[in-house]
Structure 1
């Protein structure tokens, strides 16, 4: 990455942007497990790449970034919502805290996380 970004592998789920928590009855539109997704975080953009293509977030199309838990607790996720896309993307990570730290280090605001 040009700006010295962060990159990690994980899983991905495309969901309704209004989804606030993950639990019984939560169904993604489509999903891929670890290691079939990659998150790349830079100062100017975020990309989640998977079998379904690239989901690119910029500072101009971003609506929100938030933490989301998973039941059973195998992984935590980070949900990305864009203003120009009908679906939100959850990136599932074994170390979601590290992902949040790397996002904040590059001045991305993450809701619902200490």
Structure 2
């Protein structure tokens, strides 16, 4: 995290990063010192909501990280939600069609049983 070194002249401790991060977040879950340590050592990448907090704190350009813009992520999420809704609706309609077909089939079986009896 070169932005930390630039801002504080050295890479601060994981305890410092966790404390400062948690003071600045209102939309994200707080982080532990262990999470901060993993970020600092490059063992983990912060989730998007945490990257947004880091971006505002350290004036980071997430596009420079090869990350999609917030707008792109929100657009993709909206597309996926719409797609999921359409699939759910299709599943419900298919299930209703199968149920209707089974009811017709059961009536035919019942009529055949009555004729054979």
TM-score by length of 1: 0.25
Higher fraction of strand: 1
Compare relative contact order (CA 8 Å, sep 6+) and give the higher one, 1 or 2. Answer: 1
TM-score by length of 2: 0.25
Q: Higher Cα Rg: structure 1 or 2?
A: 2
Higher fraction of helix: 2
